[in-house]
A and B are shown apart, each in its own frame.
Chain A
Amino acid sequence: MKTNKEVYKIWAPENIIWSGWVRPVPFIGINENLRVQEYEEFSIPEVLYIKEYQNDTAIILDLPGSSAIKEGLALAKLGYRPIPIYNGTDEQEGSSCLVDNHGIEYSLMLAADVLDQMDFKSDAAPVFLTDSNRMNSQKMSVKIFDNSWDVYSQDLPTPEYLKSHGIDKVIIRSDMIRKDINKIFYKFQKEGIKIYFTEGYEEPKIIKLKNIRYKN
């Protein structure tokens, strides 16, 4: 079995401009806290909403659990560089928690073997992977460990950085646009990045995000 460092290096190779944004957090537990998910079926789905790689487009996959990792590999086949930005921590030992991050850790490890066999253009556009379950912050009891988390603007490159690398479109692929994603990409939109949305079945459609009140 690969160590956490080895798995991380596959996801974040040296000299790839997007590697800095691969958060180490879900990789930390791979050595010590890894829970083998026997029920986890690891198959790469078919992507219906995008036919080919586009150099001027970044994608964000906001999907439940480890679904974005699988779909990220499907997009990797088209040429996109998958960049996991998962940032949720494991719960205190013995406690109930709001978000199960163990499945993500296990999937990152499994997917690394597939990713390791793929070739990418050195400047391949990124597909950012995140977990839409991250905002499950409704606690049934105060005793529960709240490891829900949000995506913040600091977890992603700035619009200026994207534009300086020829990217002026972002596709958000999810069931809905969550508040944290809206907050970040509203600013991107203001900076001239075109925002598209797809639920995964149809071609992405350009959207206009609104400035919603949201306090992280």
Chain B
Amino acid sequence: MKLVKIPDDKYQEYRLNLMFDCYKWDPQFLDNNTVAKYALVLTEKEHEELVKITESIDKETIEAENYLNNNLKLAKPLALPTKIYGELKRMNNYESDKHVRLMRYDFHPTMDEKWCVSEVNSDVPGGFAESSLMPNEAIKAIGIEDYTFINFGDILAKAIKEKIKENGTIFFVHCTCYSDDRQVMQYLGDKLKKDGYKIIYGAADHIRFENKKAYSILSGNECEIDAIFRFTPLEWLKDMKPKFWDGYFDTTTVSCNHPIAIFAQTKRFPLIWSSLEKEGLSLENWKKYLPETIEVSKAKGKEGYIYKPACGRVGEKISIKEACSKEEYKEILKDVKKHPKEYLAQKKFISKPLISDDGKEYHVCLGSYTVNGKQSGYYARISHLPRIDSNAADIPVLIERSKKDEN
């Protein structure tokens, strides 16, 4: 794995193209440019290894969530929000082959030359355009033809199309006030629109359910929906009033993701692995790559653990001391003390930074997607700090063709 520089004389055009041709509408966060000046290049061997690990872990995740769905008592230690826990029994009509299951696993290279998986983005992973269009722009800018990439968007769009009728209606549920959400939806929506599908962008409360089927109530767009693509996190839905969101849990309308995703979305998921193993499920691969994860109470007085919020997103509120301001670190510890069940303690791994040709160190978070159990592409971010959060820069992931393929 290496960093390859986008040539300085091409960078400004590259960044502009990402904004206007590749749905990169958030190129700045505070004082940080969020478009990396590099591409992340994997060898084919690394790619093959990542595919194998990703799919093995994904298989375990899917088996676990299906098992939990039929054995909800086992899910209690996940400490899901009460409002959500109360709706889980509605999912007893869930049939995995009727929906599209999308996840992204976050990999990090470690100092002992291994991969570590810090978590799975099980519910609403993002980064679609960055993983689908950005690599192509990078290849054009770098000008080397030895690189290839996996077009995640093509794979995801195909999986959706396979589940619904031609020219069907797809509703993209997102927080309509956030342009950062819209850019993710708009990329996929435009792609499917070109293939003849009717696309509706709207909020979670613009959908009503009748006889378990989804209908759009958005003004000027009232109609039956053939597929729901949801980018609003489940734990945000529960705060919607009046309560129409429960229909998401038992709808027969094709969903990506279905709320089944909540079991693995909570970062407390590893806390029930031993119970699942007693029931005969295997989590062997997960355990190999995820750092030891324990209850906050059990980490008391132990060295080398960090705290993570159970419902955390984009690296926020993770207590990596050297990556937080003093004030932020203090705030996190205070919150952990106050709400220990909303956190977990995880053994800290030592991220191995990559060094660029110009001598700069970058930590990497390499997200590996799965769509219906198959590895489907990458989304990566780099940062000078070991915690990869909103301050990190998006970086396209390329794969270097091995020489044998050229012969």
Binding site for B on A (CB under 8 A): 4-5, 8-9, 14, 20-21, 23-25, 27-28, 87-89, 92-96, 137, 141-150, 153-154, 156-158, 160-161
Contacts and interface: CB of A to CB of B under 8 A. Distances in A.
8 A-B pairs with the lowest CB-CB distances in the bound complex, closest first: A94-B220, A143-B219, A24-B19, A20-B28, A89-B182, A92-B201, A95-B220, A25-B179
A149 B27 CA distance: 18
Interface residues of B, number: 30
Contact of A20 (B33, B205, B219): B33
Contacts of A142: 205-206, 217
A91 B218 CA distance: 11
Given A14-B12, A92-B202, A143-B218, A87 B27 contact: no
Contacts of A89: 176, 179, 182
B382 interface: no
Contacts of B217: 142-143
Interface in B172-223: 176-179, 182, 200-203, 205-206, 217-222
Given A8-B19, A146-B203, A147-B176, A153 B30 contact: yes
Interface string B354-385: 00000000000000000000000000000000
Interface in B1-35: 12, 16, 19-20, 24-25, 27-31, 33
Contact of A24 (B25, B29, B218, B222): B25
Given A8-B19, A148-B177, A28 B25 contact: yes
A165 to B, nearest CB: 11
A27 B23 CA distance: 12
A23 B180 CA distance: 11
B282 interface: no
B390 interface: yes
Given A20-B33, A92-B202, A92-B221, 15 more contacts: A4-B20, A8-B16, A21-B28, A24-B25, A25-B179, A89-B182, A92-B220, A144-B219, A145-B203, A145-B218, A147-B177, A148-B177, A154-B29, A154-B30, A161-B31
B177 A150 contact: yes
A143 B206 contact: yes
B148 to A, nearest CB: 27
A214 to B, nearest CB: 15
24 contacts: A8-B20, A14-B12, A23-B25, A23-B179, A24-B24, A24-B25, A24-B27, A27-B20, A92-B200, A92-B221, A94-B219, A94-B221, A95-B202, A143-B217, A143-B218, A144-B219, A145-B201, A145-B206, A146-B176, A148-B177, A150-B177, A156-B30, A157-B30, A161-B31
Contacts of B177: 137, 146-150
A87 B181 CA distance: 12
Contacts of B29: 154
A158 B29 CA distance: 10
B30 A95 contact: no
Contact of A158 (B30, B221, B390): B30
Contact of A88 (B12, B179, B205, B206): B179
Contacts of B19: 8, 24
Interface in B209-268: 217-222
Contacts of B220: 92-96
B318 to A, nearest CB: 18
Residue from A20, A156, A161 whose CB has the most chain B CB atoms within 10 Å: A20
A8 B21 CA distance: 13
A198 to B, nearest CB: 26
B16 A9 contact: yes
Residue from B20, B31, B177, B182 whose CB has the most chain A CB atoms within 10 Å: B177
A127 B12 CA distance: 23
A87 B221 CA distance: 24
A95 B20 contact: no
A141 B219 contact: yes
A94 B155 CA distance: 30
A95 B179 contact: no
Contacts of A96: 219-220
Nearest to A146: B176
Nearest to B220: A94
Nearest to A157: B31
Interface string B272-300: 00000000000000000000000000000
Contacts of A161: 31
A93 to B, nearest CB: 8
Interface in B140-182: 176-179, 182
B176 A87 contact: no
Contacts of A153: 30
